[in-house]
Amino acid sequence: MRLILAFALALFASVAQSADRARDEHSAAEPTVVRISAMALDLRVDFAQRTLAGDVTHTLAWADATTTGPAKLVLDTRDLAIERVQARKGDGRWQRVEFSLAERDAIFGSTLTIALPSRMDAVRIRYRTSPEASGLQWMTPAMTAGGKQPLLFSQSQAIHARSWVPLQDTPGVRFTYTARIRTAPGLMALMSADNDPAARADGDYRFTMAQPIPSYLLAIAVGDFRFKAISERAGVWAEAPVLERAAAEFSDTEKMIAATETLYGPYRWERYDLLILPASFPFGGMENPRLSFITPTVITGDKSLVSLIAHELAHSWSGNLVTNASWKDMWLNEGFTSYVENRIVEAVYGREQADMEDVVSQTGLRAELASLPPAQQVLALPPSPGRDPDEALTDVAYIKGQWFLSFLEQRFGREAFDPFLRTWFDEHAFKSVTTDDFLAFLRRELIAKNPGKLTEAELAAWIAGPGLPETAVAATSPRLAAVDVARDDWLKRRVAVAELDTSKWITQEWVHFLEGLPEDIAAERLLELDGAFRFTGTTNGEIAQRWYPITVRAGYFEARPALAQFLRKVGRRKLIMPSYVALAETPDGLAFASQVLQQASAGYHPITRGAVQAVLDAAAK
């Protein structure tokens, strides 16, 4: 333990001494020289060619606008066809300028360098996306809920915005934007901007995002979407067959907004709407400002999974409002958001459900820590040049980050910690920040005002130490403790499966029950459970995520057809990856998984498809 603490203190010191933690090694842009301050998009959507084509105009803010002579603008792109670049100064005429695209990097794409005669005020780029753009998914009518119209949606986080717009693709640069999107009449276009609930699907749409956002929050969706209001400032967009169920499931959204405002200050984005996408959406949700993209896999009919809405809403304060300056400090986005999410759940649904969700998430973190190298178990990650920032999407940023903030709450009390967090959001609104910024604020606003409650060694263990510090107090839940007793009674055959009192269990209790089953459970015991509770074929993705890998490893082959159907229907990475990993552990399972992927691939987002293929390729070696 002393060795681990010494390592944490040394790493902590190096983090604190870093003068350039805001530098983003995942972008070729040079924001210390010039920044995009505003962007204007004018794009046409072509479903037949699976492309977006048109212009983007960037307004530039130079760090030193007085310097004369030639200059350059460096932007990030991936698989874009750049047709023309123009520049102008003030209200002068547009003039064509030279540009070059660097050789393509498999992770980061091709750097676009624009040669300028001087420090120009704006550049305009005409371009076209690739049909294989990593940040766009094009869906045929057959892949949608309605079955009549095609559908397009974007996923820009972490560095996929560069695949559909040439820009400074780093969370350290924020810009406002306007857009004109043209598509076929009858299709509704939406963006992370001021969507009009009363808009007509006439094929020509204009948008404004007045608050500055980073590139990963740039979003677009086009499809046969309808709208249903939840409150004056919140509502649901979805395809017609999904709309009513989604609006009912997420009817507490306004309550969540009000609860968060009470805790952490006003909602600063005007509207908060939800867009329910097809099940192929690769994530649970994406916090695009004003319009969170949401998976339909959380629509269960009992609101047991609406904490996902609380999470995406919480990003309106932590992440969208106060943003990590680079992906090595992702915990500043996701750890804060997971903490705020749990506080929202507690405020709207009660402490009992919040505690259950804490226990489930901490159990998942412990399991993941067992497979992560120590360098990836820290909150303040070291720079990772050459590495895809998507690989930082682990439970460390989310749950260890949340656990650290819960630890601070426990040490200082809510009466001190809640105002502290609210002030953090207020003072850093619409800014990009680093771990150094947070530590300085923490020392000034909380530690100095409450001396003796937190040591530097304890702080170092959380920020820079691997695993969980000794000060981490695990969450507890009486309801989940009762689940443990019930599971143990059944496993030891003290009670029959029919005698288990599960009538009032919600998703979190079922998840906890399944996660506690022994790794070597026999297939016949799973047959007992399946006969009583019908896990196979469940429409609850959280249960399916746990159940199917258990069946694979136990040799419960009766579940294979339903497993294949689940993997073909759902593209959310979190829900399907455990099953693919389990299948890849044996030659028979690998062959089955490869066959299923071949059938499902067309409906998967490129992010999901790549993640699954990587697992199968590694297993085949």
Residues serving a catalytic function are 312, 398
**Strands 174-182 and 122-128: what pairing?**
unpaired
- As a whole number of angstroms, the distance between CA 135 and CA 44 comes to 16
- As a whole number of angstroms, the distance between CA 373 and CA 600 comes to 32
Question: 3-state class of 188 per DSSP?
Answer: strand
> 203 with 182: CB under 8 angstroms?
yes
Q: Could you tell me where the beta strands, DSSP code E, fall in 297-435?
A: 322-324, 431-433
> 322 with 433: CB under 8 angstroms?
yes
Sign, CA torsion 347/352/358/364: negative
CA distances from 235 to 227, 244, 283, 530 (A): 7, 11, 20, 38
Question: Cβ neighbours of residue 369 under 8 Å, at least 6 residues apart?
Answer: 377, 395, 396, 467, 468
Q: Phi, psi at residue 448, to the nearest 5°?
A: -65, -30
Residue 518 CB coordination number (10 Å): 11
Report the candidate in 158, 168, 169, 164 with the shortest Cα–Cα distance to residue 179. 164
Residue 509 CB coordination number (10 Å): 20
- As a whole number of angstroms, the distance between CA 105 and CA 98 comes to 22
SS (H, E, C) 433-487: ECHHHHHHHHHHHHHCCCCCCCCHHHHHHHHHCCCCCCCCCCCCCHHHHHHHHHH
- Please list, residue by residue across 460-487, b when 16 or more beta carbons sit within 10 angstroms of its beta carbon and e when fewer do: bbbbbbbbbbebbeebebebbeebeebb
* Angle formed at CA 446 by CA 443 and CA 451, multiple of 5 degrees: 85
Question: 3-state class of 233 per DSSP?
Answer: coil
Report the candidate in 71, 20, 56, 17 with the shortest Cα–Cα distance to residue 325. 20
> 182 with 147: CB under 8 angstroms?
no
Residue 3 CB coordination number (10 Å): 7
